[in-house]
């Protein structure tokens, strides 16, 4: 149980284009989902917290107009990187918090984004 | 400032040997402390979960210890295997907030 999937697992896009990453909780409903970014040899850095049906809360320094987050249902959150630049190349990981658990998080397998 | 620091940053050991990874934290009080294993290109997977009052928790060849007085935790890996090569992340949880450590990259060589 408690499986979180991400799609795609890898994506390459050209500079200036937008790319969407999906995060799904497969066997539970998640009222809250988190998006993290991880650069090589560094730990996870929280980008934003999204709650189903409301606007996401972004961490300081994260551009909300560049990283669009939509949490339209209890099992799906999407992160759209708009007008991507090479410096946006990173490993993006989502996690989902079950609606029945106050503090648990289950992590997805991550999405490797490369912007050329 | 709530911080979680890990050492060493990287470690190379021979297959079959034991090793110990360290985690020092300033987050206090906390609800629980976890160790995660993150394979390259994958998301973190939970290895052990310890509450504030627990001193040790085992999961197969992985044993985590916690000293709340010194604010230190360690993860001991016994009889290492090639598949143990990964990053190991210490995470301290306070309320709903996850505080991630800097990670230790472990490489097990034959």
Per-residue model confidence as pLDDT tens digits over A68-116: 999 889 999 999 999 999 999 999 999 999 888 767 889 999 999 999 9
Q: Hey, is the C-beta of A40 within 8 angstroms of any chain B C-beta? A: no
Model confidence at B44: pLDDT above 70 = yes
Q: Name chain A contacts of B103, Cβ cutoff 8 Å.
A: 41-43
Smallest CA–CA distance from B45 into chain A, residue? A107
The answer to whether A88 and A18 are in contact (CB under 8 A) is no
User: Across the beta sheet with A4-7, what order do the strands follow?
Assistant: A4-7, A19-25, A76-81, A67-73
Question: Each residue of B4-32: pLDDT tens digit?
Answer: 999 999 999 999 999 999 999 998 788 78
CA A3 to chain centre: 15
Distance CA B77, CA B21 (A): 8
Smallest CA–CA distance from A109 into chain B, residue? B43
Model confidence at B70: pLDDT above 80 = yes
With H, G, I as helix, E, B as strand and everything else as coil, classify residue A97.
strand
Distance CA B105, CA B89 (A): 9
């Amino acid at each position: 149980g408690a499986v979180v999937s991400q799609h795609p697992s890898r994506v390459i896009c050209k500079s200036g284009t937008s790319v969407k990453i999906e995060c799904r909780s497969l066997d539970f409903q998640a009222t809250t989902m988190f998006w993290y970014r991880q650069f090589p040899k560094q730990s996870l850095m929280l980008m934003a917290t999204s709650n189903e049906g409301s606007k996401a809360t972004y961490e300081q320094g994260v551009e909300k107009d560049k990283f669009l987050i939509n949490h339209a249902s209890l099992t799906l959150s999407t992160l759209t990187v708009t007008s991507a630049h090479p410096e946006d190349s990173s490993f993006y990981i989502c996690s989902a918090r079950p609606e029945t658990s106050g503090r648990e998080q289950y992590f997805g397998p991550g999405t490797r984004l490369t912007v050329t | 400032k709530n911080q979680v620091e890990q050492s060493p940053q990287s470690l190379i050991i021979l297959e079959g040997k034991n090793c110990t990874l360290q985690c020092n934290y300033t987050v206090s009080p906390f609800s629980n402390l976890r160790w995660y294993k993150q394979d390259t290109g994958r998301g973190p997977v939970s290895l052990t979960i310890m509450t504030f009052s627990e001193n040790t928790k085992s999961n197969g060849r992985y044993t985590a210890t916690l000293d709340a007085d010194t604010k230190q935790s360690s993860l001991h890996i016994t009889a290492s295997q090639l598949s143990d090569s990964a990053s190991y992340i210490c995470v301290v949880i306070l309320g709903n907030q996850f505080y991630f450590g800097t990670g230790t990259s472990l490489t097990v060589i034959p």
